[in-house]
Amino acid sequence: MALLKGAAGAEEKGDSRLQRLVSASDAMLPLRETASHRSSDCERFLPVVPLSSQTMNRSKRSMPALTGMRIFLAMWVVVFHRFTGNRADLVDVPKTLSSLILTGYAAVSVFFVLSGFVLAYSYNLDHRWSKQEYWRFAAARFARIYPSYLLGLLILLPLFAWRFIHTWDLIDPLKEAGTAFLNFTLLQTWLPSTALTWNDPGWSLSNEAFFYACFPIVGVLLWRAKGAGKLWTIGLLLWALSLAAPVAGMLIPIHGYGDIVATVPDGTAISAPSNLATIFCTNPLMRIPEFCFGILLERVFSNLQNRGSSLFGKGYYLYLPGILAVILVLGQADRIPFPTVHHGLLLPAYSCIILGFALDGGVLARFLSMRSMVFLGNASYSVYILHVPILTWLGLVWKRVGLQSGEAVPVSLCLFVVMLISCLNYAFLEEPLHKRLKKGLQGRFQGKPTLVSENSGR
């Protein structure tokens, strides 16, 4: 398996596909939508997924801490990509911190769980969806994720055009056209040869697109689980399924995937990982158990809410142990097999963190709920999907102007430029386009709304 090289230092490192196999999304990334007619507090703070008039419960609690948390997940990915291609910069960094940085790809798994959780929180899964409800949902998701995803591809387009013009005799035009088509249609992860082409973090968005397509069916099925016994059984089954591919990859073993540790030491990377390794890492079928785990987790949250659990306002009983577990485990990542960390090893810890912040309470939850943190959390999708294109161009400019020749772009400059451009994109492009697209697309599918009623058991 492979790690994406630091985009800022791309001009100084070999173009290793292994370094790109663990580039993260987003995720994909779980994404937030707002509803123009909802009360401003709930509309502004409920994280990640669309809370449209067709699906929302007007009495639902807002969960701003989950939104604020997303910026740290996105920045974890950015820092990971910056340092994996410039490991010399980590020489003087404490071992635990270094291990955490080099396992930043694990944030994708958190995003997948969070995506399932918030979609299940936002949409009515008590009944089978009509075609109109399905298409309105699809329109809302497209309006949220595609504008910034497309922008990331367009930022990189001049580089691919330059490459094509200067090396046209070495390139198969039909193959390149096919690769571009799959990337622009979010289908790239269904072929191992195209999974990590163009904007590498886009692989997780390709996964999310598949998850969205499955959600109206899988979500309804999982929502039928009632009672602690069934929830525990299905949860353990999903956890086992998330680890099935890693275990298989270690038993075979798949070179560059099942035979390396989570920090992927220098010297273990291979320039052309097998198609099997790519499939195990990025194919949507390998990652959907994490998304389903998030749906089930929301079922647990809903049960707690229905019972008026005393845990509300005391989420620190869950998120603090969860964060500590992640730090302790990933701090020893150089002793843990890579596939397990890349997939579902820490699903229980991630679940404690997500559920804890959803329950709210404690200093950390209040910090993440601050208006400034919520804004950054809303901009986290732009941070995630645009950081590789931005850092690629930044690295080229850095090299061209001859600043500190031979050295990578400083981390502080990388983070500042990524954050600045991402926040501007969110405020002036992503969110306005999302609202306009959503209104236009959903207007084509008018019908009975999928409202989550007060007494629907949610």
The tens place of each residue's pLDDT in the chain, 458 residues long, gives 333 333 334 334 333 444 444 443 333 444 333 333 333 333 333 333 333 334 444 356 778 999 999 999 999 999 998 888 777 778 788 989 999 999 999 999 999 999 999 999 999 999 899 888 899 999 999 999 999 999 999 999 888 878 777 666 556 777 888 899 999 999 999 999 898 888 989 999 999 999 999 999 999 999 998 888 999 999 999 999 999 999 999 998 888 888 888 987 554 444 445 788 888 989 999 999 999 999 999 999 999 998 888 999 999 999 999 999 999 999 999 899 999 999 999 999 999 999 999 999 999 999 999 999 999 999 999 999 999 999 989 888 877 776 554 566 788 888 999 999 999 999 999 999 998 888 888 777 665 444 343 333 33
Residues 285-314: b if buried by 16+ CB within 10 A, e if exposed: ebbbbbbbbbbbbbbbbbbbbeeeeebeee
Cβ–Cβ under 8 Å, residues 385 and 351: no
pLDDT at residue 441, rounded to an integer: 82
CB atoms within 10 A of CB 18: 25
| Structural domain contains residue 283 | yes
Query: What is the spatial distance between Cα 51 and Cα 121, in angstroms, rounded to a whole number?
Result: 9
Burial of 49 (0-12, 13-18, 19+ CB in 10 A): buried
Q: What is the pLDDT of residue 264?
A: 78
CA distance 51 to 48: 9
Supply the DSSP string of 241-257, one letter for each residue: HHHHHHHHHHHTTPTTT
- Give the pLDDT score at 54: 41
In this structure, are residues 112 and 215 in contact, taking their beta carbons and an 8 Å threshold? no
List the one residue out of 387, 411, 409 whose CA is nearest residue 399. Answer: 409
pLDDT for the residue 254 = 86
Q: What is the pTM of this model?
A: 0.83
Counting beta carbons within 10 angstroms of the beta carbon of residue 276, is it exposed (0 to 12), middle (13 to 18) or buried (19 or more)? middle
Residue 213's pLDDT is 95
Residues shown for the chain: 458
Instruction: With beta carbons less than 8 A apart as the criterion, state whether 6 and 88 touch.
Output: no
How far apart CA 28 and CA 134 sit, in angstroms, is 19
State the distance between the two ends of the chain, measured CA to CA, in whole angstroms.
41
Structure tokens given for 399: 């090299």
Residue 80 maps to a domain: yes
For 51, the token pair is 């809370």
**pLDDT on residue 75:** 95
C-alpha 68: how far from its chain's center? 14
- Does a structural domain hold residue 229? yes
Domain total for the chain?
A: 1
The whole-angstrom separation of Cα 159 and Cα 419 is 22
CB contact at 8 A, 201 and 384: yes
Please tell me the predicted confidence (pLDDT) of residue 25.
Answer: 38
The Cα–Cα gap between 258 and 261 comes to 8
DSSP secondary structure, 144-169, as one string: HHHHHHHHHHHHHHHHHHHHHHHSGG
Amino acid 16: pLDDT: 42
Look at residue 198 and tell me if it is in a domain: no
Give residue 43's pLDDT. 34
What integer pLDDT is reported at residue 404 of this predicted model?
53
Quickly list H helices, 335-379.
338-342, 347-359, 363-368, 371-378
Instruction: Report DSSP state, residue 6.
Output: P
Look at residue 256 in the predicted model and tell me its pLDDT: 80
Contacts of 149 (CB under 8 A, 6+ apart): 186, 199, 202, 205, 385
Residue 376 falls inside a structural domain: yes
Q: Is there a domain that residue 263 lies in?
A: yes
Determine the structural domain holding residue 250 and report its residue range: 7-147+215-442
The answer to whether residue 256 sits within a structural domain is yes
